[in-house]
Structure 1
Amino acid sequence: MSEPITAQPALPADWPPGVRLPPPDLWSDEPPMESDRHRTQMEILIQSAQSWFADRQDFYATGNLTIYYSPNQRKSEDFRGPDFFLVLGVERRERRSWIVWHEDGRYPNVIVEILSDSTADVDRGLKKEIYSLTFRTPEYYLFDPNSFELQGFHLVDGRYESLHPEENGRLWSRQMGVFLGEQESRLRFFAPDGALVLLPAEQAEQERQRAERERQRAEAALQENSRLRERLQALGIDPDTL
C-alpha cells in the first residue's frame, strides 16, 4: 500500500516559482546508539520526562531523532540528532523527526548528550556551540555512562555557563523543574523534594508491592478475626451476638 500524500503547506506570496517545501513528516536520519548502555540511558531519560510531565499535553520528549534546522529548509543540510531532547509548549504527539520550520521555529528547551569515546569531543565542542548559538537551547547536559560524570550548562547572554551542582552532586533544571543526578549508574530525574521520578515499570512495581502489602494486611486481619472468634467460642460466647 502506498504512503498517503502529505499536503504541502501554503507558500509565501513571494516564493520562487516551482519551489516546494520539504514535507512536514521527514523521517529521522540518525544512526543507532553505540551500545546497550547508551540506548538504555536514552530510554530512561525519555520515560522519565514522560512520567514527570504525564499530566501535560504541551511537551515533546524523545531521543536520537533528527532535528532539521536549515534556514533554506533543506533536509540535506543543517541537522543534528541529540541523544535526548525536550521541547515545551508544543503539541504532544508522535513525530518522525523535528523540523524547525514546521514547528513554528521552536527548538529544544533541554538537550542531553550521552558521551562516548567517538562523540565526546563533538558533544563538548561543535554541538555545544550549535546548541547555544543557533538552537539557543536554555539547558544543555553531558553525561558519561562509564565514569558517571555529569555536566550542565545554562544559557546566559547567548553563551553557556556551567551549572553548579548541589552537595549531593545533582544539577537543578529550571526548565523541567527537576534535579538531574546519577543513581545506580544511570542519569535520573529527581523531584524538588528529592524523590526519584519513577519510570512506568517502577511505578507498576511500586503499585504491585502496595497491593501485596494491602493483601497481606487484609489476610492478617482475617486470621486475627478467626482466632478471636475461636477464643470466644471456647468461652461459650457466640461472637455473632456481640
Structure 2
Amino acid sequence: MSDSIDERPATHESTTEPHKPEPLWWETEIAARTAYALGMGGQENIERQHQRGQLTARERVDKFVDEDTWREVGMFTGKGEYDVEHRLTSVTPANVIVGTGRVDGREVALCAEDFTVRGGSSESTSPDKWQYIERFALQYRIPMVRLIETAGGSINILKQSGATKIPGYSNGAPPTNLGTIPVVAIALGAAAGFGAVRVVRSHFSVMVAGSSYVFAGGPAVVKPGVGQEIDKEELGGASVHAR
C-alpha cells in the first residue's frame, strides 16, 4: 500500500493584530473630555481630600446609588483652554456632578458638589447644572438628593464679574419642590453660604458629627465682621444644629 500525499497547501494562522482604524477627531476629543471630567480637580487635590478623611464627589456617588444605575448629565461642563489652532489643551470641570440613579431600587435625582475644584465654590461651577437637576426631579416627581460640600461663594470671582448671582440664584432650587417631592440634603463637609441654604431648604438634612459644618460664613468671615474668634464646630457643627 503506497503512502498518500496531501497536496493541499499548508495554512498558517496570522500572528499579526488586525488593523485598527485611527479614531475620528471627535472620538479623541470625547475621550479627552471624559478624562478631564473624571480627573476632577487633579490628583493633588484628590489626595488632599482623602488626607482629610473625605471621599471625592464621584466616590460618594458610586457608594450612594445602586450599582450600574448612575446616569450622569452634563459631564463635559467646564472651562476649556485652547491653543492658537483651537485645539483643546485642558479643561477645568464644573465642580458639581448631577444625574439620576437608583437607591434601593427607587429612582432619585442626585447632585454632588466637588470640593477638589476650587473648594466647591458656587462661583466656580455652572449653576445651570444643579438648577437643571432640581427641575428634572420636580418634573418627573422623583426624590431630590443633595450631597453638599462647599466653601461658599468666591469674592474674587464676583469682583471679576462685577455682579452677584442674587436674586437669580433664588430660582436654583424651586421652592415648589418642597411641596411636591421629597428633598434630602447631606452635609459632608463645609456647607457655607448658599451651600448652607441648600442644606436647610430640605425636608430631611443630615450632618456628619465632627466633620461637617453649616453656616452662612466661616470663622474667617466672623472675626473681621464682629471681632469674635470662634472655631468651625462652635459656629456651625452638628452639635449646634442638633440642639
Shorter-chain TM range is 0.3 to 0.5
Which structure's CA Rg is the greater one? 1
TM-score, structure 1 normalization: 0.33
